[in-house]
């Protein structure tokens, strides 16, 4: 369970129950794993079984109550969404009688239409509903690039390097930005993301480098340490953050605002791939929703949830100069059609079927969509490599596992030198697998304050040469991980 191999843990608990149907601990552990893979409806019967076997089990009773509340909340929100969709199809009959011609007209209208949160937040800003700065606020201020024009009530903000640097120091001291600035950063980032395909092209030209950074999971102080090693993004230095920016760590808001501010400031030099934790169901359980609502309210969380669906699903890092080395683990390197190295960067991994092309990935309609538990988007965000050839069930209980033959076949089909992915803790910070074709990079050291793992990042130059860098965790203020998580996951705190 601590390795997050919930699929395997569910299988083990099920076998234990088959051997001993009265083994309370097995029911309890299986229930916790079902919760971890977002199946509270399957956790509830196991918690109930614990109580039927041990009526005085207070821990099982607490978990049952919390899980029941979580499931009711999820069901209520699902019903609310369905009602809104149904109302959109209501047809209102409007009877008019101009000039006594007894004409009858029918007009289809959207009643209670649920606008995307990004659109609604812009309207609220213009209406003055997110106005403005407290007089006592002494923190960083976004630069005004245009004063309020005729017919508009609000100025237009931009972003600057000075603001971002001051913002990082402000966050480091434990302080928050005003909600208006939070919204402006998220909306400014969204404007950039909306223009990107689901597979982004990131060229590495002569004199440039690109750093690939794995999961950061709300560990803001470790992110600051990491940035001190990579250096900030610039015209000659790209930073590609490979998903799972939020959840688990208790400074997820500070982490995601840092990354989104950099993306707004350096749209070509910063990449943000979506991870499986940039999703509503994960945020509801693992802390980001609770954290944002606590710090800035529900509408701010709705804005993040909307903009998360704008995040690209993958990036192709494409060095522009001929390679200096042309072998990978003793075999000829797989090159692009132009004879250059290039690297596919994705949070999870590869697919449940052969033959998936780059064009298929590029054309995935991601906007407004959640990953779900099947299909290409889910697999890009959720799958893991395995040592055995072929494909197998996921150790997590979501997605699949893919072997070294699957990786080689896909890379050869698409002219890809290697895959960089994240999604899993590696004790050394990274691990090169599948004969050098699949590398896992994880950038949250001492994960949730108990992993004792290193963090890592990967640097790629214009020839496609790769260097690996590792780092240790740094101290942080006295707040535990999962501080804002669902009570149903209190055992992970």
Whether the Cβ atoms of residue 457 and residue 469 lie closer than 8 Å to each other:
yes
- Residue 307: CB atoms within 10 A of its CB come to 23
Whole-angstrom distance, CA of residue 223 vs CA of residue 213: 10
Q: Pick the catalytic residue from 277, 296, 347, 423.
A: 277
Question: Tokens 């309207």 correspond to what residue?
Answer: 123
Q: Are 43 and 6 in contact (CB under 8 A)?
A: no
Residue 434 annotated in active site: no
7 and 396 Cβ atoms separated by less than 8 Å: yes
SS (H, E, C) the chain: CCCCCHHHHHHHHHHHHHHCCCCHHHHHHHHHHHHHCCCHHHHHHHHHHHHHHCCCCHHHHHHHHHHHHHHHHHHHHHHHHHHHHHHHCCEEEEECCHHHCCCEEEEECCCCCCCCHHHHHHHHHHCCCCCCCCCCCCCCCCCEEECCCCCCCCCEECCCHHHHHHHHHHHHCCCCCCHHHHHHHHHHHHHHHCCCCCEEEEEECCCCEEEEECECCCCHHHHHHHHHHHCCCECCEEEEECCCCCCCCCCHHHHHHHHHHHHHHCCCCEEECCCCCCCHHHHHHHCHHHHHHHHHCHHHHHHHHHHHCCCCCEEEEEECCCCCCCEECCEECCCCCCCCCCEEEECCCCCCCCCCCHHHHHCCCCCCCCCCCCCHHHHHHHCEECCCCCEEECCCCCCEEECHHHHHHHHHHHCCCEEEECCCCCCCCEEEEHHHCEEEEECCCCHHHCCCCCEEEEEEECCCCEEEEEECCCCCCCCCCCCCCCHHHHHHC
Q: Give the count of beta carbons closer than 10 Å to the beta carbon of residue 491.
A: 13
d(CA 434, CA 406): 9
Catalytic residues: 277
């Amino acid at each position: 369970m601590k390795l997050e191999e919930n699929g395997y843990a569910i299988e083990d608990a099920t076998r234990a129950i088959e051997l001993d149907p009265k083994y309370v601990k097995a029911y309890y552990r299986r229930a916790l794993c079902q919760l971890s893979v977002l199946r509270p409806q399957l956790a509830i019967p196991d918690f109930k079984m614990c109580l039927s076997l041990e009526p005085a089990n207070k821990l099982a009773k607490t978990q049952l109550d919390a899980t029941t509340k979580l499931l009711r909340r999820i069901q209520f929100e699902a019903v609310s969404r369905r009602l809104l969709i149904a109302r959109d199809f209501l047809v209102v009959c409007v009877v008019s009688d101009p000039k006594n011609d007894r004409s009858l007209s029918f007009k289809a209208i959207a009643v209670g239409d649920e606008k995307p949160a990004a659109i609604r937040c812009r309207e609220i800003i213009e209406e003055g509903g997110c106005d403005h700065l407290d007089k006592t606020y002494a923190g960083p201020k976004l630069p005004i690039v245009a004063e309020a024009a005729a017919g508009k009530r609000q100025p237009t903000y931009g972003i600057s390097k000075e603001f971002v640097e001051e913002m990082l120091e402000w966050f480091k001291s434990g302080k928050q930005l005003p909600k208006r600035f939070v919204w402006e950063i998220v909306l400014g980032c969204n404007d950039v993301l909306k223009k990107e395909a689901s597979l982004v092209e990131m060229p590495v030209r002569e004199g440039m480098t690109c750093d690939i950074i794995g999961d950061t999971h709300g560990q803001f102080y470790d992110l600051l340490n990491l940035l001190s090693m990579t250096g900030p993004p610039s015209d000659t230095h790209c930073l590609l953050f490979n998903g799972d920016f939020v959840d688990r760590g208790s400074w997820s808001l500070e982490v995601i605002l840092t990354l989104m501010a950099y993306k707004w400031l350096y749209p070509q030099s910063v990449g943000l791939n979506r991870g499986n934790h940039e999703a509503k169901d994960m945020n509801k359980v693992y802390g980001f929703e609770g954290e944002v609502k606590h710090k800035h309210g529900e509408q701010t969380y709705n804005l993040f949830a909307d903009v998360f669906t704008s995040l690209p699903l993958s990036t192709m890092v494409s060095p522009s100069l001929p390679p200096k080395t042309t072998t990978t683990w003793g075999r000829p390197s797989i090159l692009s059609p132009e004879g250059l190295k290039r690297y596919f960067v994705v949070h999870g991994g590869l697919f449940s079927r052969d033959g998936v092309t780059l064009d298929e990935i590029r054309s995935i309609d991601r906007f407004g969509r959640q990953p779900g538990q099947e299909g290409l988007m889910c697999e890009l965000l959720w799958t893991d490599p395995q040592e055995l050839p072929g494909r197998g069930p996921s150790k997590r209980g979501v997605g699949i596992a893919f072997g070294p033959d699957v990786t080689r076949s896909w890379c050869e089909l698409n002219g890809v030198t290697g895959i960089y992915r994240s999604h899993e803790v590696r004790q050394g910070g990274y691990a090169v697998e599948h004969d050098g074709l699949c590398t896992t990079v994880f950038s949250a050291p001492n994960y949730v304050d108990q992993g004792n793992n290193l963090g890592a990042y990967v640097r790629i130059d214009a020839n496609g040469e790769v260097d690996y860098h590792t780092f240790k965790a740094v101290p942080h203020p006295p707040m535990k991980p999962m501080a804002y998580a669902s009570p149903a996951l209190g055992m992970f705190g």
